[in-house]
Structure 1
């Protein structure tokens, strides 16, 4: 029996490669990510359809409008804990990596308020410890009710095991701000219990575990917001949250130079920080004084 799938104009454009979000950026992570994103979106249309009000059955695990209860919240919290902080024997490499991340973040604590510089400093220390770490910048376009955006985080690619294909090396997401992005206004006690299971210092988890945890927490956040009669904003929808850590991205292993000496004033756009600025009308850069004319 033939099965026909209706694709809207946005999806057709992305399949043709016309959409800006799926153009090649010179990275090995863009084209494959776009295709996998389309396949994933089709297999899991319940999440997107339920959020956008479109057709499609909701998955049994997520995107339910049923009210929270102690049992439901406890199950969601246990799922998040198992995904983002599994037992040591389940992933020995992650335990070693998490310890290295904690040490790197503690050493660079002075840069914590300077997001980009902090991430690059952490990457520098992880690479010095022998890890294949990099700074990843994801970017996605507005579509289907979600707004465009960019996000930056750290990743670490595990070395291939003796029996594994080198092309299938495990990738770990490292993000000190993960928990902060899950907070919502007027959270219900049930949702607060779910967020409490997210590591407060930093998330260090496989990318597939991050994706599953995002779906669980996004579903719980939606129920929390609707319990107070609030609408789910575009930046809280599941697809938007997934795009942060699992969307097409560029990866860089370049790191910032050592931090300035104590008392020095950090200057934006310093060498090695990969800072891009755009004039928005607040001030104009001072004009360069012309060279003195020799008479």
Structure 2
């Protein structure tokens, strides 16, 4: 308080025991304990505690509403992705339908016949490159300009380097539309599978066809939907999304600027391979006495 002076009796040995001897010159003497208790009585501490509890309850209610809002938002996101993917895949043109039909029929015949490619392996089981060559050849026999495409790209700050091989068909039957490119990917679903994905993402991937046949615009839309879902999935699981899962990298696989088209064909044979195995010489089958007539052999008794 202004103008007040305190006189402290330093002659006392125990300052704490005589603290009540403090005197204010301008006011009557009062003990420190009385002042403290009077201060506590004047303050409305019970109402303050109730206010804190009310604030805590409001914060908990806000958190609950926020969590409920996030759940509804996540559910709406995945439902929207399913609807977009369904609409994109099932809205197809007559050109895409014809190419898809020929491609599926060719793959079915190859699997049933057990075609052996020039690599000496079952084509349908392990040789993807020869499988693409055979399917592309059948599309060419049907009158389509089909080829094997190989894209390559260098690393950049956004994506790592890589390469990818797939099929395509370029249709120029209409002068008004110009060249129309149709992408054919035999392992399309596997390109988007992730080991630690959520159930919602896995269900979305299962909607993808194993063999994709579609125009560039359709491929672009599908990749955008799946990459957006992959980003959402990793965010929900609080995991890092690899650069090879991002939209730019995925599109570069099929729509890269550097693309080589090839129509070469390996030698094929239907059914089991007729190639005879090359005989291999072994030291165990060599007659040393014929090769070395002067060689003297001494019989040794085996005990």
Normalised by the length of structure 2, the TM-score is 0.59
- What residue is the counterpart of 1:18 in the other structure? none
- What residue is the counterpart of 1:85 in the other structure? 90
Matches within 5 A, 1:18-29: none
Q: 2: CA distance between counterparts of 1:236 and 1:79? A: 20
Matches within 5 A, 1:181-196: 181-196=191-206
The alignment status of 1:149 with 2:151, answered yes or no, reads no
Q: 2: CA distance between counterparts of 1:83 and 1:206? A: 11
**Residues 266/218 of structure 1: CA separation in 2 closer, same or farther (3 Å cut):** farther
What's the RMSD between the two structures over aligned residues?
2.4
Q: 1: CA distance between counterparts of 2:79 and 2:169? A: 31
What is the aligned counterpart of 1:212 among 197, 209, 221?
Answer: 221
Structure having the larger proportion of residues in helix: 2
- What residue is the counterpart of 1:258 in the other structure? 268
Count of matched residue pairs = 195
Q: 1: CA distance between counterparts of 2:82 and 2:266? A: 37
Any conservation in 2 of the 1:260–1:266 contact (CA below 8 Å)?
no
The alignment status of 1:133 with 2:146, answered yes or no, reads yes
Any conservation in 2 of the 1:173–1:207 contact (CA below 8 Å)?
yes
Q: 2: CA distance between counterparts of 1:159 and 1:206? A: 13
Shift of 1:80: 2.0
Gaps in structure 2 of 5+ consecutive residues: 1-69, 115-122, 278-303
Shift of 1:188: 1.6
- What residue is the counterpart of 2:16 in the other structure? none
Q: Secondary structure at the match of 2:203?
A: helix
- What residue is the counterpart of 1:124 in the other structure? 137
Q: Secondary structure at the match of 1:255?
A: coil
**Residues 258/266 of structure 1: CA separation in 2 closer, same or farther (3 Å cut):** farther
Shift of 1:260: 6.3
**Higher Cα radius of gyration:** 2
Normalised by the length of structure 1, the TM-score is 0.61
- Per-residue CA deviation, residues 207-260 of structure 1 (Å, 9 max, x unaligned), is 121012111101101211222222111211211111101112111122222236
- What residue is the counterpart of 2:173 in the other structure? 160
- Per-residue CA deviation, residues 64-113 of structure 1 (Å, 9 max, x unaligned), is xx887232112212222332332xxx511211111101001112224132
